[in-house]
Structure 1
Amino acid sequence: MSGKNQTIISEFILLGLPIDPEQQNLFYALFLAMYLTTDLGNLIIIILICFDSHLHTPMYLFLSNLSFSDLCFSSVTMPKLLQNMQSQVPSIPYAGCLTQMYFFQFFGGLESFLLVVMAYDRYVAICFPLHYTAIMSPQCCLSLVALSWVLSTFQAVLQTLLAARLSFCTDNVIPHFFCDLSALLKLACSDTQVNELVIFIMVGFILIFPFLFIIISYVRIVSSILKVPSSRGICKAFSTCGSHLSVVSLFYGTIIVLYLFPSADNSPIKETVMAVMYTMVTPMLNPFIYSLRNRDMKGALGRVFCKRQTLSFL
């Protein structure tokens, strides 16, 4: 497209969520409460795991990284959404849009890889309990976490650099509450074939293969559980894996439906509402799923709280 038909875009307008003006304050309070709950819950999990030696195990190492990812993942979109809900002009600078997109891609990818690592940890713990300590050594655990961070960085940098080379026309309105990559591609004037090809590859790399690996892991886990003669052992194993499966279902379910099986009648409103599920709801539920029904986390909370109380009396 010729240069005269293009203009330099300095900012984008985020349409935000489809909320009636008279309900704006109600939803603002709701989203603020969700954001504070997400940050506080995940921060408590991170603090407990750091300060309680009983939780210095592979499973809780991965959980602390997942909580950090959830905390940051929600912070990428929620503060800007809350700010724009109180603004007359809900805009975001061009550089800020690319920055938001980078961290959204990074922490979204990191969460996906960490869920795979946690599935592998449960698979080894249940299917090979006698070899668990040898297989999930500290070196192996740190390597898995480091690999998750490196792969997430690679795909986020690649997606952001490809988006930065795009040219945009006069239309700078994004029908979303954050700088979603697919929404940006729809506004681009330049050729987006390379971007779409990379997105297709990355979807398989970040979503399809991790999701299939998790499913295969839990098929093997269920198969091993059913071989346990004790009903108590079966209940305990299912309880241990239940929290992880809940997070996997919430995280992958909405993303797969939204990005892998888009219907022709998908409206921007429907896509925006579905995006709320994996950007706001899932990070908020993570602390409840992993802590409220977890004896180790409850015990750690009691020990840390009692220790602080004891120190305050000294």
Structure 2
Amino acid sequence: MDFFNSALGKNITFVRPAYFVISGFSGILNIKYYYVFLCFVYIVSVLGNTVVMAVICLDHNLRTAKYIAVFHLAFVDLIGSSALMPKLLDIFLFNHRYIPYNDCLTFLFFCYTCLSMQSFNLVALSYDRLIAIIFPLHYQVKVTHRFMLSLIAFFWAFVITVALIAVGLLTRLSFCESVVINSYFCDHGQIYRLACNDNTPNIIISGVLIALILWLPLAFIVLSYVCIGYALSKVATVQERHKAFKTCTAHLSLVAIYFIPILTTFSMASKIHPNARIINLSLTSVFPPMLNPIIYVLQTQEIKVSVKKILKLRKESKVKVKKVIIK
């Protein structure tokens, strides 16, 4: 972080607060019921994503490039929920609204990194579906385990780099007036708006981040499905089109759940009450990790078959144990 400060000159004095105050959800009636709901969402998220990861690990038939991306999505959802939810509940349920300066920046880094990786993971799954439908004969060659792992590693490196830049630029800001963050976590936009010195670089990087993490992945996903739709229009029978498109339904559901709420909230941010914005943004952060594993278990035939097979084997093993005990 010192690189950002030294580049601006050695004689600049920064006013850094000892802590920030997270004020989100304040003034909302019966908000404790919402905290109970968030606890429920977090428990379902942890259980659901753990189940998906366990099923993929236990079933050798799911050791494919596609399910590497599905496993990684569940992993990112799990660590993202664990980075945000326990701290969020600690802040508001137990009224620990004071968060040290360095802890706040660390909190921001992990939340933004996981949120960004969810977006890029949807890009990886979109690429998988694109190749599987348009180039089915070359799928095994083009989408290999090594390729998918390399793609995920590249996304991690990119996301960590841009998150470090965003956090690093915050360290050059002075906070000589308010330290109250009007959000439910250490929100990048809410923090740089509190600064009493020039925050132009932070405004620029905020716009760049929205473009790179939201609009660019969404544009790629939309373009990939335009290509998929064009390719399916050339398929001879309706049954073949339906069968091919059915393999995309789970992914399309994830894309809709992730992008539509967050882009709608951002586009209407200036028109809605601050408390409504905070509630909407918190829901867009916690809902996708909860719904993603449910959608994949219910809509993906391979995972449904695998879950049934694992449950059947477990039931048979219990029966065998009971027979041995009786004997």
Task: Give, in whole Å, the separation in 2 of the partners of 1:286 and 1:181.
Answer: 26
Q: 1:11 aligns with which of 16, 19, 36?
A: 19
* Letter aligned with residue 301 of structure 1: V
Q: Distance in 1 between matches of 2:203 and 2:36?
A: 37
Aligned CA distance change for structure 1 residues 78 and 19 (closer, same or farther; 3 Å): farther
SS of residue paired to 2:21: strand
Q: How far apart, in 2, do the equivalents of 1:277 and 1:30 lie?
A: 11
For 1:134, give the aligned amino acid: V
2:44 to 34, 37, 61: 37
Equivalent residue number for residue 289 of structure 1: 295
Describe the SS at the equivalent of 2:248.
helix
TM-score, normalised on structure 2?
A: 0.88
Aligned-pair CA distance for 1:293: 2.1
**For the Cα contact (< 8 Å) 2:249–2:299, is it kept in 1?**
no
Q: Select 1:98's aligned residue among 98, 105, 113.
A: 105
Inter-partner Cα distance in structure 2 for 1:309 and 1:204 = 50
What's the secondary structure of 1:92's corresponding residue?
Answer: strand
* Number of the residue aligned with 1:69: 76
1:122 Cα offset (Å): 0.1
Q: What is the rounded CA distance, in whole Å, between the counterparts of 1:254 and 1:268 in structure 2? A: 16
Instruction: Work out the CA distance in 2 between the residues paired with 1:169 and 1:262.
Output: 30
Greater mean deviation of Cα atoms: 161-170 or 48-57: 161-170
Contact persistence 1:6–1:189 (CA under 8 A) = no
Q: How many residues align?
A: 309
The within-5 A match list for 1:38-187 is 38-187=45-194
2:242 partner letter: C
Return the offset for 1:305.
3.1
1:103 offset after TM fit, Å? 0.6
- SS of 1:13 mapped into structure 2: strand
What are the Cα deviations for residues 109-130 of structure 1, in whole angstroms up to 9, with x where unaligned? 1111111111011000001111
Pick one of 263, 266, 271 that aligns with 2:277: 271
Task: Report the Cα offset of residue 42 of structure 1.
Answer: 0.7
Q: Distance in 1 between matches of 2:228 and 2:14?
A: 55
1:304 to 290, 306, 310: 310
Once the two structures are TM-superposed, the CA of residue 311 in structure 1 deviates from its matched residue by 5.4
Deviates more, 1:304-313 or 1:216-225: 304-313
Write the distance in 1 (CA, Å) between the matches of 2:83 and 2:199: 25
Residue 263 of structure 1 and its aligned partner are, at CA, apart by 5.2
Question: How far apart in 2 are the matches of 1:296 and 1:19?
Answer: 47
Distance 1:89 1:147, change over 3 A: closer
Query: Residue 54 of structure 1 aligns to which amino acid in structure 2?
Result: N
Paired residue type of 1:239: K
Q: 1:142-194 deviations in whole A, cap 9, x for unaligned?
A: 21111111111111111111112222123111111111100101111221111
Tell me by how many angstroms 1:222 deviates.
1.2
TM-score, length-scaled by structure 1: 0.91
Structure 1 window deviating more from structure 2 (296-305 vs 279-288): it is 296-305
Contact 1:105–1:155 (Cα < 8 Å) also in 2? no
The 3-state SS of whatever aligns with 1:257 is helix
Contact in 2 for aligned 1:11/1:91 (Cα 8 Å): yes
Q: What is the Cα deviation at residue 220 of structure 1?
A: 0.8
Cα deviation digits, residues 249-287 of structure 1 (max 9, x gap): 22122232334x355434322321221232011111101
Distance 1:133 1:108 in 2: 30
Which of the two has higher C-alpha Rg?
Answer: 2
Give matches, 1:146-295, under 5 Å: 146-259=153-266, 261-262=267-268, 264-295=270-301
**Aligned counterparts of 1:307 and 1:271: Cα–Cα separation in 2:** 47
Q: Is the 8 A contact 2:175 2:194 kept in 1?
A: yes
Q: Deviations for 1:183-221, whole angstroms, at most 9, x for unmatched residues?
A: 101111221111111222222222221111100000111
Report the alpha carbon displacement of residue 309 of structure 1 after superposing the two structures with TM. 4.8
Following the alignment from structure 1 to structure 2, what is the Cα–Cα distance between the partners of residues 191 and 262? 26
Hey, what's the Cα distance between the residues in 1 that align with 2:192 and 2:15? 16
CA RMSD of aligned residues (A): 2.1
